[in-house]
Amino acid sequence: MFQDIPVDVGVAYEGERIRRSEMYVEFGGPDVKFKFELARVRKPEEVKDGEITIIGPDIKDIPEGSSVPLGIVVEVAGSQLEEELEGIIERRIHEFTNYVHGFMHLNQRYDIWCRLSKEAFKKGFDSFTYLGKVLIRLYKADFPIIEKIQVTFITDPKEVERMYYEALKIYEARDAKARGLKDEDVDEFYGCILCQSFAPTHVCVITPQRYSNCGAISWFDGRAASKVDPKGPIFRIPKGECLDPVGGEYSGVNKIVQEKSLGAIKRVQLYTAFKYPHTSCGCFEA
């Protein structure tokens, strides 16, 4: 599947960390103001299947040790795809890029931080084309409903800045849908274990009033993802009995969290950081 990629690709590399002394180049991160990643559902005629576009300098054209802006845009089309799936598709950028040995991806949305190692660059991973191929193949393997996909990488500073503000508007529109809905208004929550590769006992509980820790997955996103991929990393959590309305403890949540954490976590209270706090993975979005 990845014979033409100059480095190994696989789930074993998810969670890899690349220190500054090991990096060839850095994209986004705390030293770069403008960076983002975005997924969009398009009409079939708007997507050229398999196309990879690079706007601005490619990896091989960037001086070693640089920290540069980056925008990643994944556009998909398919008869069963809906706009409400964009957040779920977008979050998989984090997972899939981390499968690449020598490539590190942290955070999400407007706060991404990526690094490419010197070792990976020496092996020939010197173009975003390789990263695009990995994304396209993994998306199609995991989401059969994606019929067409194209990926764009943007490093041109002016274009990243322009698209950054466009992305913020899209994020805000998504978030606005979740406002107003309360935890007591629904019968089920959703869970996510995408980050268990580097936080093995972490189970995210997503409710109308509580986004995933990364800030990228709302209750509506969780509902959409669990319908599309019932056996995937995002799943239904029946609330069960409310054991503590102040602390936010539910029998159904405790049951699923215990199962998904392999018994490491037995109780969770969603509305407090004391006594039985929610687990964490390392990504925090206030």
- Over residues 178-236, the pLDDT tens digits come to 787 899 999 999 999 988 877 889 999 999 999 888 888 889 889 988 988 888 899 99
Nearest to 110 by CA among 53, 41, 179, 163: 163
Specify burial of residue 140 (Cβ count, 10 A radius: 0-12, 13-18, 19+): middle
Q: Which residues pair with 242 in a beta bridge?
A: 250
In the Cβ-directed half-sphere of 161, how many Cα atoms lie within 13 Å?
Answer: 6
Please say if the pLDDT value at position 161 is more than 80: yes
Please say if the pLDDT value at position 282 is more than 80: no
- Please report the pLDDT score of residue 151 as a whole number: 98
Please say if the pLDDT value at position 3 is more than 60: yes
Contact 253, 210 (CB under 8 A): no
Which residue matches tokens 């529109």?
A: 173
Nearest to 268 by CA among 223, 218, 208, 207: 207
Q: What is the pLDDT of residues 93-107, one digit of tens each?
A: 999 999 999 999 999
CA 211 to chain centre: 13
Contact 68, 112 (CB under 8 A): no
d(CA 253, CA 268): 7
Output b/e per residue, 3-13; b: 16+ Cβ within 10 A: eebbbebeeeb
Please say if the pLDDT value at position 8 is more than 90: yes
d(CA 154, CA 59): 11
Q: Work out the angle between the directed axes of helices 219-228 and 86-97 (0-180°, nearest 10).
A: 80
Nearest to 260 by CA among 194, 183, 187, 189: 194
- Please report the pLDDT score of residue 284 as a whole number: 61
Q: What is the pTM of this model?
A: 0.81
Sequence-ordered list of residues with C-beta below 8 angstroms from that of 107, at least 6 positions apart, any chain: 94, 113, 214, 283
d(CA 123, CA 116): 12
- Please report the pLDDT score of residue 258 as a whole number: 96
Mean pLDDT of 163-180: 91
- Please report the pLDDT score of residue 78 as a whole number: 96
Q: What is the pLDDT of residues 268-277, one digit of tens each?
A: 999 998 899 9
Angle at 275 between CA 269 and CA 277, to 5 degrees: 45
Please say if the pLDDT value at position 14 is more than 80: yes
Domains of the chain, earliest start first:
11-177 (3.30.1650.10), 180-260 (3.40.970.20)
Average pLDDT, the chain: 93
For residue 280, which phi and psi values (nearest 5 degrees)? -145, 160
Q: What is the DSSP letter of 110?
A: G
**Sheet of strand 35-41: strand arrangement:** 35-41, 70-77, 148-154, 52-55
